[in-house]
Chain A
Amino acid sequence: MHTIPQPSGPRPPMAQPPFAQPYAQHPFTQQPSAQPPFPQPPARPPAHPSGQLRPRPVAGLGTVTIVLVAAALAAGLLRLAATSWASQVVFGP
C-alpha cells in the first residue's frame, strides 16, 4: 500500500500570493472612498441645540394671505366700478 509521506516538524508559514497586494490596489477593486464626490443632503434637518429652530406650519398662514389678497382685489374691483360710475355720471356714457 502506497502512502504519502507526511512532513515532520513545524509547518512553514505560507507565503503571501504575489498578486495579493497589487490586486487590492487595483482601482477597480478598491473600496469606495468614505466621502462621496457630491455632498448628500441629510435625511432630516438637524435640530438646533436650543430646540427652538423647528419648521413651523405655513399652510394656514398661506391660506389667510390668499383670502386677504382676494378680499383686497374684490375691494379694488368695487373701487374701479365706482370710479367708472362717477365718470359716467359726470361726463356721460
Chain B
Amino acid sequence: MCGTCGCGHTLIKPARAKTTGGALNFRPVSGTPEAGAAVPQTPTSEAETRRIKVERDLLAENDGWAGENRARFGAAKTLALNLVSSPGSGKTTILVRTLQELRGKVPLAVIEGDQQTENDAERIRATGVPAVQINTGKGCHLDAVMVRHGAEELPDLACGVLFIENVGNLVCPASFDLGEDAKVLVLSVTEGEDKPLKYPDMFRAARLMLLNKCDLLPHLAFDAELACANARRVNPDIEIIRLSATSGEGMDDWLAWIARQQAA
C-alpha cells in the first residue's frame, strides 16, 4: 500500500533519479480486501440484515486530494494546467513548443499521463524541462492522488507553471478534479466540428480551448467557425485560441493567456 495516502495503487517509484526516468505505474485496485477489512464469510441463516445509511460522495476522496493539491500549488504560487483532449490532437507537440518558449523565464515541470510508455516524458525531457511519467495501466484518466505522487517527484515550482498532460480521452478525465487551476482542452482541426456536442462534459469543464493544427485548414473541409460555435454552445464562457504548434501561429496568444493566469 502507498505510504503517503494509503491508496491501494501499486506504485513503482523511479529507481533513484527524481525526474530523469522511471515511470510511476498505477494498476487498478485488486478486488481483494485490504488487511483489516471485513472478510467474506459464509452467512449464517440467522444473520440479521441491517440497513446502513451512508450518504458519501463517490468522488469525495478524489476531491479531497484535489483540494490538497490545489492548496499546495496555491501556496507555492504554481499555476497548474490540466491539458485534456482525444488522442492525437497534438497536446505533447504544443507542450514541447510552449516549454521551449517559456524555458529560462519561469520554473517549469510536466506530469505526463499515458496508459503505457514513457515516450511523452522523454520528449519533454529533451527540452530540458523535468517531467515525470505516470502510467495508468488500464486506467483511462489521471486522478488527484496520481498527480500528488507525480508532483512529489518534481522540483520546487515556486511562481512557475506545472503542465499536467492527461490521458488522451475526451470522456473520463472530465469527472476527475486534479487540483488544477484550469483545464485546457485541445481540439485539432483534423477532428470533427461536432466534437463539443458529442463530448459536452469535457468542453463544459474546460476554461480554454486550443484549436490546434490550424496550419492544415487550407487543406481540410473543417469549419473552424462551426467548431467554435459548438464549443460555445456547450460552454458559453470558454475562451478559444486558434493555434498551430507546427507553424507557431497563435503561440503568442497562448503564452499571453498563461501569463494572465499566472498574474490572476
Same complex origin of A and B: no
Binding site for B on A (CB under 8 A): none
